[in-house]
Amino acid sequence: MTSLPRLVRNLDAVFKPSSVAVIGASHEPTKIGHVILRNFLEGGYGGKVYAVNPHTPDVLGVKTLKRASDAPGKIDCALVAVPEKYVQDALEDSIHAGARAAVVITGGFSEVGNKSGEERIRKLAIEHDLALIGPNCMGVLNPSARVDSVFLPIYKMGRPHAGGISFISQSGAVGGCIVDLAARAGVGMSKFVSYGNATVINESHLLSYLAADPSTQAVVSYMEGVKDGPHFMESARLLTKNKPLVVLKAGKSKQGAAAAASHTGSLAGSAEVYSAAFAQAGAVEAQTLEELFDFAKIFALPPAAGARVGILTNGGGNGVLAVDSTEAEGLKLAEFSPATLSALKSMLPAYATAHNPMDIIGDADSARYEQALSVMMKDPNIDVLVVIVLFQTAALDSSVVNVLVKAAQQKTKPVVVVSTGGEYTELHRRILDGYGIPTYPSPSSALRAVSRFLQYQNYRCRYHPSEPYCKK
């Protein structure tokens, strides 16, 4: 990251700080400073944690400091959760204590018309190359480094395990929902940051940082506006040369744009202009929160040799729906090779017909899935395999999960799973997602994600034409 500007390089102190100061640490469990301090003390963070509160001798067993600059060692990152009128002083003192970064949770700035207060802390941060996240943000997560400055309690919002997806969100509320969903689904995250008003560090800085971050394989972004259009395009293109970017743009309607302005002080802009810019930058645009999450998790899959889809199901109607969605998304239904047809006919019961979609019938057990998967994974005419599993059938048990994991871990072609149902089904979906096999509740959502996966792959081939999957 040595080629990046110092301000961006200092984001290391946000995501991987050697020490943190919680400014506004509190005894009150409902206070933001209490939750953040507890996160660091109980979450396994390995660095030094300082608690700053001039009105009490200790918080959660930690001796407090009157000011951050009273710390015996340097402070790498300041986590600021004090009222707006004290924020500037807290930042000045943190800079004096050696801070390279700050996460300002406090609101009350441009989103409520306090532009002068926000401008003062912006100038201060820029002058000292302080990588300032916020203000008016929800915090930062880095599961692998046990960094957690998110002020939502763990019992209310789950924390995902370490993974390859980094998520940047202008909205803390939306960010919290996605993080909670990821934790429940077993989908890992590399980093999460809610950047709020983007007074200093904005979406473009974060994209530049994550483009160079070796632990980030894909980036997901919720945004209400862009601070600097040319800078965003430059940063997005830098990222998408090597890593996918999935974007959900809010504030597209007239009233939505007004709401965005009052929420994070953003200028929303024309929906058409943003969509065109995303396409030019190689970003995949999601239209809903569901799509944002659906698209994000598919990019952990190995590349596909083309757009020919093979469908395996134990329910005929679901297979037909998958065919409809394949066509609707502009993909191709694969034609099984003669060898595949012969192998499938030999293993199927007499009342099943070998063709795509391959319905192995409702009495299929895990062994039949394993046989069919083995054959279809070897077929050179199939580029992407969509496996539909009705867990409700009597013959099928949990051992099919091992079958699916074994097939997907060959990494010879992308495998996605469709499974629709209630609690029992959701349990098995979470296990599969936890193993990096993306699951979807319907054929339409799965095939929509597959099409965006292939859309980005084709874009990436512009920069990596020598990759095997680009030579089709």
Reference 200, options 143, 249, 129; nearest CA is: 129
Per-residue pLDDT at 46: 96
> Do 108 and 254 have their domain in common?
yes
- Among 283, 298, 313, which residue terminates a domain? 298
Q: Which pTM was predicted? A: 0.91
Q: Half-sphere exposure (CA, 13 Å, Cβ side) for 405?
A: 14
User: What's the pLDDT band for 172 if we cut at 50, 70, 90?
Assistant: confident
Answer yes or no: is 35 within a domain: yes
Task: Work out the burial of residue 57: count CB atoms within 10 Å of its CB; fewer than 13 is exposed, 13-18 middle, 19 or more buried.
Answer: exposed
- Among 248, 283, 298, which residue terminates a domain? 298
Per-residue pLDDT at 155: 85
- For 192-246, give the DSSP string: EEE-TT-SSS-HHHHHHHHHT-TT-SEEEEEES--S-HHHHHHHHHHHHTTS-EE
> Do 443 and 367 have their domain in common?
yes
Average pLDDT over residues 61-67: 96
CATH number at residue 383: 3.40.50.261
Answer yes or no: is 205 within a domain: yes
Q: Is the pLDDT of residue 204 over 90?
A: yes
Per-residue pLDDT at 270: 75
Residue 115's Cα: distance from chain center in Å?
31
> Do 161 and 98 have their domain in common?
yes
Answer yes or no: is 161 within a domain: yes
> Do 273 and 311 have their domain in common?
no
Q: What is the dihedral of CA 319, 320, 323, 325, to 10 degrees?
A: -100
Tokens representing 453 are 């996966």
Answer yes or no: is 267 within a domain: yes
> Do 290 and 313 have their domain in common?
no
Total number of domains in the chain: 2
> Do 277 and 306 have their domain in common?
no
User: What's the pLDDT band for 248 if we cut at 50, 70, 90?
Assistant: very high
> Do 335 and 288 have their domain in common?
no
Helix-strand-coil split of the chain, %, nearest 5 = 45, 15, 40
> Do 174 and 256 have their domain in common?
yes
User: What's the pLDDT band for 265 if we cut at 50, 70, 90?
Assistant: very low
> Do 292 and 319 have their domain in common?
no
Which percentage of the chain shows pLDDT scores above 70? 96
Residue 361: domain span: 302-470
pLDDT tens-digit series, residues 412-452: 999 999 999 999 999 999 999 999 999 999 999 999 999 99
- Long-range CB contacts for residues 249-257, cutoff 8 Å, separation at least 24: 249/223, 249/224, 249/274, 249/275, 249/278, 249/285, 250/171, 250/174, 250/222, 250/223, 250/224, 251/224, 251/225
- Among 273, 298, 323, which residue terminates a domain? 298
Answer yes or no: is 1 within a domain: no
